Structure 1
Amino acid sequence: MGALDAGAVDAAIGLLRQAVAESRELDDGPLAVQSLIALGSALAHSVRGRDGEAAGFLHEAIGVADGVGAPGSAARAHRELGYIEVLRGRYDRAQLWLHSAETLADENATEHAWARAVRGVALTDLGRYRDARITLDTALHLAEAGQVGHVEAWAWTFRGRLHLLRRELEEARECLTAGLSCAHSLRWTAFVPLPEILLAEVDLLDGRVDAAASAYEHAHAMALQLEDPCWEGGAARGLGLVAAYRGDTSTARQWITRARQRCTRLPDAYLWVEGYCLDALCALAVEHYPAEARQWIDDLEALATRTGMRELVVRAYAHRGKLGDPHAARAARQLTVEVDNPALGALE
């Protein structure tokens, strides 16, 4: 799996396909389970646009594990199916898969840590920050106790995202720095752009615009090399924010519009990132391009309500309120109390 961490996706996928084929030829059930899960996981995490194929291999792994009387060996497959559902914003389904993953994991600390880590992401997406922090803290504790470095990098990064969204910048910087350091130490190149992007936003909000611009540019270059639409979108959004901070609203609009396009260019990219990009686009448009803002606000509201991303629902109503809709402004104030984020008060 080192090739995947380093971003050498094609080579790794090819080897895993060969392993699956050989396990089938040998009719070796336990080997087939492990190779199917490894291939399904690799496709889900590293090859955007292939989550349908990934899910097929993961479901096959579950079936084989049940057939050989070792359902517990498929805990990872359940967890990865939960991860795929998180990407698509189907959080109820994700919770079911993650719950079954933990049930099957028994005393496997690594699987418990990963299931909690993915669940923490889902809870953050939904605006359930208190529950998300508890869940991510548990994942981090399990990861540190079991020396599961990848979960540590993940949990620190997504705890940092949580603090960033709540505008707790000191805590966000601490967590994201830890996440980025872990990712570098693991040579997890495929993950590095995410903490780098989020840390750049902390810099931007702290007024360190040049540092933020440099980090966004580096993350964007890495994302293009990795061909990861989520990281491409996140970095492009950041470059748009930098342009807006510098007063270049035309360039800002181009970058953030491109960010939304890039993060949705494949059918199974992370929907929360699209929402994050849309929110930034709406904020820019309300202030500088009000005639175009309504369609983007409609898109944000539709995405957020369909998936249950409560904070983004609030933000959609708040944007509409700033365009002069008093009913939307009132709805935003009422819905804010349902989201554990004091930063939403700044929207009024």
Structure 2
Amino acid sequence: MTVVRLLGPPHLPGAAPVPGRGRKPWALVALLLCSTGPVPRSRVIDLLFPDAADPQAALRWTLSQARRTVGDAVTVGGDPLTWELADGVHVDVLDVLAGRAPVGWPVSEAALPLLEGAEPDVAEFSAWLHGRRLDLAAAGARLQRAQRTRTCSPAGRGAVRDLVRVGEQVMDAGAPRDGAAILAGAVRRARVLGDDAVLAEALAHYGHGIVHAVASTDPGAAAALREADRLATRHGLADVAVLARRELGFVATATGDQAGALAQFARAAAAAEGRPEQEAGVACGRGFALVDTLASGGAVRELDRAVALAEVADRPRAAAAALAMRGRARLQRDEDELAEQDVRRARALVGELGWTALRPWVEFLHGEVLLRAGRPAEAEVVFADARTLAEVLDDACWIALNARGVASARARRGDPAGAAAALRTVCETLVADADICCWIELHVRDTLCAVTASFDGPAALAESRLLAERADRTGLGEFAVRAARHRARLGDPDASGEQRARAGRYDNPALLRT
């Protein structure tokens, strides 16, 4: 058994030291293993080599040193960068993030600082490291308390599955953190039970609940989903594999890794083949991943399939989710009447199901439909009510979206300066809160550009350049087209041509409108 230690001074116990290594190889290993999915090389460069004369060469050298550092224990490579553990390898931070008993290292060290004494002197990485240390310290303290005081009562397979069902019901009813605690308890009891099939189910449902209702980029949830996928693959649990891969695709989409998302959805589709109830969820996820990329028309077609499959399988929850996402895709394409039909149907289903956790999302879409119909006063009331519910649910994504809606309605009602100030506050929060989905941040920034343009052209130009930069970095290229359109409207002589050139690559006629 090999244990990679990243908490405290990083090392491999029993491994011979390799001379000539600096701190950045360990920093790179920690960055990859503590992230929720594949890490774009551009992101690594931003964090570790912002001032390098040749950042690509610096990254290549550091990768080679990282491979020497961990030997055969961890395989690292690709673009975006991914990692894979060899058989029999354990990593302390992965145990902590997954909330499982330490393997080959003492639980007393679960709250040690990540990379203690081995921090590279780079401000950008230091900011990332500070946030990760806080997350890991809290998770490590929870693990220590659990190991000291918890002796799970014996539970059979049926009891664990009942806990999973109850936890999901509590989440859907609008108590996400209470539901998450119940699901975490299901995972703990499944580990005690020693049944890999039940553990895989509990892990997959725990990860699903966390990323949708608590934190879409939570590293512990991503670790749980990856473990569920490994167990499900090993034991031939197709439905569990679909759920885990589908949710890993959702996490990748939320973080702007569209290629990684589509790869996960392809794996999920392979496991779901022939079962409409599973295929519906995969199609909905793939549609979500495509909305703001080169194929929003493809997103609508994928979501058409998701709606049809959900109806064939008699899965009203899946139908509601797919209808809401198709409504969003159609709004992006300026297909307002069709969007209104989808949103109306989604709202009806969510009401019938009592699906409180999804209400802020479908109400946001309802507000957007009202805004497009020239009814800003009504829209503002809808957005404000939905924002209040999102705050009660403590869902940062829905809070940001509905705050954006309130500001947009306020601008339509004659207060663009106040609306812009509110949107800047949301953007500042987004920058500080890494858990906001990338597309939501760009949606807010797009609105900020439009609102600011009405009274402060230079500020709007600056915002549009930032929007384009963020869109290109995350792969959500439709927003880069919108940024060029903002600049064209503000008189930039080169922007119209850029808008046409960029829009020509996309399956969305709305992007060609001036």
> What does residue 511 of structure 2 align with?
344
Query: Which deviates further from its counterpart, 103-112 or 305-314?
Result: 103-112
Q: Cα distance 1:86–1:122, how it changes in 2: closer, same or farther (>3 A)?
A: same
| 2: CA distance, partners of 1:239 / 1:259 | 12
Return the alpha-carbon distance in structure 2 between the equivalents of residues 73 and 240 of structure 1: 41
1:246 pairs, out of 401, 410, 413, with: 413
CA separation in 1, counterparts of 2:287 and 2:410?
32
CA apart distance, 1:51: 2.1
Deviation at 1:49, TM superposition (A): 6.2
Q: 1:324 offset after TM fit, Å? A: 2.9
Query: Distance in 2 between the 1:259 and 1:181 partners?
Result: 30
Match of 1:56 in 2: 223
Q: Are the structure 2 counterparts of residues 200 and 71 from structure 1 closer, same or farther at C-alpha, using a change threshold of 3 Å?
A: closer
The 2-side partners of 1:224 and 1:300 are apart by: 26
1:202 to 362, 369, 380: 369
Query: Does the 8 Å contact 1:220/1:231 carry over to 2?
Result: yes
Match of 1:170 in 2: 337
Q: Which residue of 2 aligns with 1:22?
A: 189
Q: 1:261 to 1:230 in 2, by over 3 A?
A: farther
1:141 to 264, 287, 308: 308
Give a deviation string over 1:157-194, Cα, whole Å, max 9, x none: 11111221222221111111111111121111111111
Contact persistence 1:232–1:263 (CA under 8 A): no
Which structure has more relative contact order (CA 8 Å, sep 6+)? It is 1
C-alpha separation in 2, matches of 1:246 and 1:271? 28
- Determine which of 286, 296, 301 is the counterpart of 2:468: 301
- Mapped to 1, the partners of 2:376 and 2:338 lie a distance apart of 19
**Greater Cα offset, 49-58 or 271-280:** 49-58
One-letter amino acid matched to 2:184: R
Deviations 1:88-108 (A, max 9, x none): 111100011011011112333
The CA deviation at 1:39 is 0.8
Q: Give the secondary-structure state (helix, strand or coil) at the position aligned to 1:192.
A: helix
**Which one has a bigger Cα radius of gyration?**
2
What is the deviation of 1:286? Answer: 2.2
Any conservation in 2 of the 1:24–1:32 contact (CA below 8 Å)?
Answer: yes
Partner residue of 2:450? 283
Task: Verify the 8 A CA contact 2:294 2:477 in the aligned structure 1.
Answer: yes
- CA apart distance, 1:262: 4.2
Gaps of 5+ in 2: 1-167
1:225 alignment partner in structure 2: 392
Question: Which of 141, 144, 156 does residue 323 from structure 2 map onto?
Answer: 156
Note if contact 2:238-2:272 (Cα within 8 Å) is conserved in structure 1.
no
Offset at 1:281? 0.5
Q: Distance in 1 between matches of 2:337 and 2:207?
A: 37
The one of 246, 259, 271 aligned to 1:104: 271
1-structure distance, mates of 2:393, 2:374: 29
1:47 aligns with 2:217: no
Alignment partner of 1:318 out of 462, 470, 485: 485
Following superposition of structure 1 onto structure 2, how do residues 110-121 of structure 1 map, counting pairs within 5 Å? 110-121=277-288
Secondary structure of the 1:42 match is helix
Following the alignment from structure 2 to structure 1, what is the Cα–Cα distance between the partners of residues 236 and 411?
58
Q: Name the aligned partner's letter for residue 281 of structure 1.
A: L
For residues 177-188 of structure 1, the aligned pairs below 5 Å read 177-188=344-355
Please tell me the residue identity of whatever aligns with 2:173.
A
- 1:237 paired with 2:237, answer no
Of stretches 193-202 and 251-260 in structure 1, the one that deviates more from structure 2 is: 251-260
User: Per the alignment, in what secondary structure is the counterpart of residue 191 of structure 1?
Assistant: helix
Question: Is the aligned partner of 1:33 residue 2:200?
Answer: yes
Q: Distance in 2 between matches of 1:148 and 1:260?
A: 36
Q: How far has the Cα of 1:14 moved from its partner?
A: 1.3
Distance 2:213 2:327 in 1: 22
Report if the CA contact (8 A) 1:30-1:65 is conserved: yes
Distance 1:72 1:49 in 2: 21
8 Å contact from structure 1 (residues 304, 310) kept in 2: yes
Q: Which runs of 5+ in 1 are unaligned?
A: none
Q: Where do residues 123-134 of structure 1 align in structure 2 (5 Å cutoff)?
A: 123-134=290-301
Structure 1 range deviating more: 32-41 or 308-317? 308-317
Task: Compute the displacement of 1:299 (Å).
Answer: 1.8
Q: Distance in 2 between matches of 1:119 and 1:264?
A: 26
Say if 2:77 is the partner of 1:77. Answer: no
TM-score (normalised: structure 2): 0.65
Using the TM superposition, give the Cα deviation of residue 293 of structure 1 relative to its aligned residue in structure 2, in angstroms. Answer: 2.2
Distance 2:392 2:455 in 1: 33
Residue 326 of structure 1 aligns to a residue whose secondary structure is coil
The letter of the residue matching 1:141 is A
Verify the 8 A CA contact 1:229 1:262 in the aligned structure 2: no
Read off the aligned partner of 1:223 and give its amino acid letter: A
Q: Conserved in 1, the CA contact under 8 Å of 2:367 and 2:379?
A: yes
Structure 2 residue identity aligned to 1:147:
D
CA contact (8 A) 2:216 2:254 kept: no
Residue type of the alignment partner of 2:475: G
Task: Please state how far the C-alpha of 1:83 moved relative to its aligned partner.
Answer: 0.6
The match for 1:8 among 138, 156, 175 is 175
Distance in structure 2 (CA, Å) of the matches to 1:151 and 1:67: 27
Q: How many residues align?
A: 347
Q: Distance in 1 between matches of 2:261 and 2:491?
A: 37
Supply the distance in 1 between the matched residues of 2:270 and 2:296 (Cα, whole angstroms).
24
Structure 2 counterpart SS, 1:190: helix
Superposed CA offset, 1:121-177 (max 9, x none): 111121512211110011111101111122111111111112212222211111111
Once the 2 structures are TM-superposed, how far is the Cα of residue 69 of structure 1 from its aligned partner? 4.5
CA contact (8 A) 1:236 1:258 kept: no
Match for 2:280: what amino acid? A
Deviates more, 1:310-319 or 1:45-54: 45-54
